[in-house]
Structure 1
C-alpha cells in the first residue's frame, strides 16, 4: 500500500470558495468561527460547554437508546452513547442522505473522517470524550437523489413512487433490486458478504431509516460510531423555541439574506432562504409552511392555522415540523454537544451562509471541516500509469485537456504553436505602432487582421493535434481507458463508485485501510494504491 497527496486546487474539482477556505483567506473569515486545527478546538470545547446543559444531554441519551433498542451494536458504541450524559463529552458530526446501499464512496470518507478526528482530539485532549456521529437525513424528500447506486458501470435503481420523508418509506420493491444486484456480484467470499449485507439491511427491515441505520452500524460499529435519526418527537421538543422564533420572526431569512449579500461579492451562493425555513411533516407529506394574509398554510394542501393555533400545534406535536437546509444545521447544534461538522464542499458552502444567523439566535457555530477526498488505485492501475508516464496531476485533468497534454508529450513532432503565436503578436505590435504613427483609422483593420491570423494559427494547431491523435490512437485509447477506470463518467471516483465495487477487491480490509490512511486535518486530496 502507498499513498500520495495532491492539493485540492490542483485537482481542478473544487470551487474557489473551498480552496480559499483551505488557504485561510482573510476575506472568508467573517463567514466561519474557528478554523479546523487541533489548537482551535480548545476554545470550541469551552464555548460549547457553556451552551449545552444537562437536560439536553439526558434527552439525547434517552432518545438514542430508544433508537438503538433493536440494533446489535458494539460495546464501544454503547459506551459512547452513555458518555454523552457527561459534561466532558462532545460530538464530531457528519450528515448524509439515505442513499441506497450507501450510494457513492464519499459516504465512507465522511464517516471515516469523523471517526479519525474524534480519535485525534482524544489524543490531544485526553480529559474529554469525543463521539463520532452520523446524522441520517431521514426527513429529506428528494427520493430521486438516493434511489440508486453505480456498480461496475451499471445503475442499480429502486423504482417506486415516493412522497414525504424518505426515512419513513417502506422497502417495497427492493427484493427485485436485490435479485438484479445479486446476479452482478459473482460468487466470491466478498460477494457473498455483500449479498448478505444488502439482504439483511433492506429485506429484513420495515423502512429506509431502519435499513440505513443497520447498514451504517454494521460497517462502522467497531469504531464506536453513533447514528442519530433526528426525526424524533423527543429531540424536536428541545428545538421548539427555535421553531417558534422562526414562525413568528423569520430570523433565518433576514440573517442569511444579509450574509448572502456579502458572500456573493466574491463567491456563488449555495442556497437561498425562504421567509419560513420549515416544512410540515406527516405521512406521505413534506411541504413548505407559508405565511400569507395573517394565516399559516401548508403549501399544496388545505391545512392552515392562525398564529395561536400553529403555536399550540407546535407544542403538542413538534415532530410535525421539519427544518429545511437553512434550519437543519441549527437543529443539529441545538440537540448535540457538537464541536465540528464534517462535510463536502457543497455542504460547507451553505454552512458559510449561516454564521450570522447562529450569532443572532445565540448558538455556538461549529468548526467546519472539509471531509477527506480519496482516489483509490489498484496496484495494476498504478503500474500502468507509471509505464505511460502519467502523473497524478495529469490524471485529474478533464478528458480533452488530458489527451491533448499527453499527445503533445509523446508526439515525435512539436504541436505547440506558442513560439509562432508570440512571433505573430510581436509582428502585429510593430504594425500597431506603425498605424499609430501614420493613420489611426487603420488600427481597427490591423486588430481584425491580427485576430484572424491568430485564429487561423490556432485552427492549424488543432488540426495537426487531431491528426497526431489518429497516429497515436492506440496509446491514446490505453490512456483514456485508464483514466475512465479511475474517473468513471469523467467524474471523481468518490462521487460515482459504490463501496461494494472496492469491497469485492479488498474485502474486510477496505475500511481499516481507510481508517489507517485518512487524516481529516490534512487539507490535501489523498491518492491511495491498495
Structure 2
C-alpha cells in the first residue's frame, strides 16, 4: 500500500493543544463550536445559511469575476464561481501567504484538503454544494517570511526592498531568480513545465498577488479551486460595521484577551497577542498599525493621525485602507464568504481557538476548524532502501539518536538488554533486605545504596555495549541516518522545508494525482505516502 498513517501525537511534532483538539478533549470544547466530522456539517450549514445574505453573495460573485478578469478560468472553476450565487452553495476555505513559488510543501496539502473535503461533502449531501476556496494573504507585510523557497537544501531567494502589503509588490527582480532555477531544475519535460509556470506567473504579471493567483490557478484549476483576494474595496465594504466596532469599542481586545487567559490557565500558550485595535492602515508601500492615544488615532511609523470622526469617515470612504491583522482576518473572511469550515495548520488553528467568544459577541457564525493534511513523501528509491534495512517509515519520526539506538538493538547479534540481569540483581537484593531487617536501620540503608550503585553500573555497561555496537554497525546506521536526513531536513518535517518542485521534477503530474487520491481530510492522522516509480 502506498499510504499508511500515524497518529499526530506519536509524531512528536504537534502541540498539546492540537493533539487535545484531535482527541476531542472535553476541556477544550468550550473554544470551538463543532468538531470536523461529517455528521456536524448539516448543522453548520443551516446556521450559516440563515446568516449569509443574498447581497453578500452577489458582491462576492461580482468581485470574483473581476478578480479573474485577466486569468484563464477552467470550466470547473467557472462553474464554482457561478455556483456561489446560489443560496445552497457554501465554501470550504484555506489560506496561505504569498510564498515564492508556493513555498513549503504544505501549500499543496492545504489546498488538497479543501478540495477533497468539498468533494466528500458533495457526495454525502445532494441538497447543497461545496466550493473549495484558497484565500491569498495579500495584505501580509512580512516580506522576509515569503521571499524564498528551499530546493534540495539550497535557499533560493528573491532580493529586493519591500514595504507595505506584499500582494501589491511589483515582481521586479524575479528574472534573476528564474535564471537560478533554470540552472537548478535541469532540462527534463517536467522541468520545462515548472519553468514555464514560474516564468508566466512572475515575469508576465506585474504584482505578487496576480502572479500567485496565476500559479495556484495553473496548478489546481482542474479541481475547481476558487482563489480570492480579500484586499478588495467592494468586499471590505461589508466589513465596515465590524471595523467601526473595532475603532469605537475595541471589542476584540477584551473578548480575545479573556479567552486567551482561559487558554493560558489550562496550559495552552498564546498564539497571537491581541492589540487594543487589531487593524492596520493600508496604502501603497504602507501597512502600519492603528493605535489610539487619548482622543486621536495614529498610524505608527508615520505622521498620519485622525480624530475619531475623521477615521470613521475615512473608513466609510476608503474601506480598502483598513486591513485586519491575524486575529481579525478570520472574522473578515467569515463575513464575506458563505464558509462552513476553515482548514489550517496547527499554528493557525491555535489562534482561531482564541476567537470564538469574539465571534459570538459580533454575532458571526464560527466555522468548523479542520487540521490540514500533513504528509511525508517517500520517493520510491528511498522506500526500497528502507525495505532493505527492514525499517518502517514511521520509525523515522524518532529523534536520530533514538532511531539509531532502536535499529542497533534490532540488528545487533548481541542482545543489548540487561533487563534479565537487572531482575536477577534485584531478586538478590530482596534477600539482603530481609536479612537487613533483622539488624538495624543503618544496614538497610547500606543495602539500598549498594543496590543503587550496582544497578547504575549495569546501566553504564549497557550504554557502553550499545556504543560499541553502534561503532561496529556504523555503515548501516549511516545509511539509515542519511535517509532520515533526506526525509526530515534539519531534523524537522519535510513539509515545512522542501518545495514541491523537488518532487514534481521526478514525478510530474503523478505527484498531484497521488495527493488527490490518497489524502483524506477527515482521517485526522499524519499520512506517510510512498510514491510509486515514475
TM-score, normalised by the number of residues in structure 1:
0.94
Asked whether the 8 Å contact 2:143–2:166 carries over to 1, the reply is: yes
User: Counterpart of 1:321?
Assistant: 322
Call closer, same or farther: CA 1:436–1:408 in 2, change over 3 Å. farther
Does 1:197 pair with 2:170?
no
CA deviations on 1:285-327 (whole Å, 9 max, x unpaired) are 2111111222211122221111111111111111111111110
Report if the CA contact (8 A) 2:132-2:226 is conserved: yes
Question: Do the aligned partners of 1:160 and 1:173 also contact (CA within 8 Å) in 2?
Answer: yes
Q: Distance in 2 between matches of 1:34 and 1:305?
A: 41
Paired with 1:431 and 1:142, the residues of 2 have a C-alpha distance of 67
CA contact (8 A) 2:433 2:444 kept: no
Matched, 1:109 2:109: yes
**Cα-to-partner distance string for 1:377-417 (whole Å, 9 max, x where unaligned):** 22222222122111133121121111111112111223334
Q: How does 1:500-519 map onto structure 2 within 5 Å?
A: 500-519=501-520
Paired residue for 1:2?
Answer: 2
| Counterparts in 2 of 1:251 and 1:438: CA distance versus 1, 3 Å | farther
CA distance in 2, matches of 1:374, 1:189: 26
For the residue of structure 1 that corresponds to 2:69, the secondary structure is coil
Query: Residue 484 of structure 1 aligns to a residue in which SS?
Result: helix
Separation of aligned partners in 2, 1:398 and 1:235: 47
Separation in structure 2 between the aligned mates of residue 415 and residue 272 of structure 1, nearest angstrom = 50
Q: What's 2:243 paired with?
A: 243
- TM-superposed deviation, 1:49: 0.4
Match of 2:361 in 1: 360
- Give distance in 2, aligned partners of 1:454 and 1:276: 61
Match of 2:399 in 1: 398
- Aligned residue for 1:498, secondary structure, equals coil
**Residues 425 and 18 of structure 1, relative CA distance in 2, 3 Å threshold:** farther
What is the rounded CA distance, in whole Å, between the counterparts of 2:284 and 2:333 in structure 1? 23
The alignment status of 1:52 with 2:52, answered yes or no, reads: yes
After superposition, the Cα gap between the structure-2 partners of 1:423 and 1:327, relative to the gap in structure 1 and judged at 3 Å, is farther
Distance in 1 between the 2:314 and 2:21 partners?
A: 42
Q: Could you say which residue in structure 1 is the equivalent of 2:132?
A: 132
| CA deviation after TM superposition for structure 1 residue 201, in Å | 0.7
Q: What are the within-5 Å matches in structure 2 for residues 406-417 of structure 1?
A: 406-417=407-418
Q: Flag the 1:448–1:508 CA change in 2: closer, same or farther, 3 A.
A: same
Contact kept in structure 2, 1:373 and 1:525, CA below 8 Å? yes
Displacement of 1:367: 0.5
Distance 1:525 1:441 in 2: 55
Residues 118 and 132 of structure 2 are in contact (CA less than 8 Å); yes or no, is this contact kept in structure 1? yes
Report if aligned partners of 2:436, 2:443 keep a CA contact under 8 Å in 1.
no
Q: 70-79 vs 332-341, which deviates more?
A: 70-79
Which residue of structure 2 aligns with residue 496 of structure 1?
Answer: 497
Higher mean Cα deviation, 472-481 or 10-19? 10-19
Deviation at 1:458, TM superposition (A): 4.4
Query: Which residue is 1:351 aligned to?
Result: 352
Distance 1:235 1:414, change over 3 A: same
Whether the 8 Å contact between 1:169 and 1:207 is mirrored in structure 2 is yes
Aligned to 2:273: 272
Alpha-carbon distance between aligned partners in 2 of 1:60 and 1:424, rounded to the nearest angstrom: 75
Q: 1:204 to 1:424 in 2, by over 3 A?
A: farther
Relative to 1, partners in 2 of residues 1:70 and 1:415: Cα closer, same or farther, differing over 3 Å?
same
Match of 1:298?
A: 299
What is aligned with 1:70?
70
| Shift in alpha-carbon separation, 1:235–1:421, aligned structure 2, 3 A | farther
Return 5+ residue gaps in structure 1 as ranges.
none
Kept in 2, the 8 Å contact 1:10–1:393? The answer is no
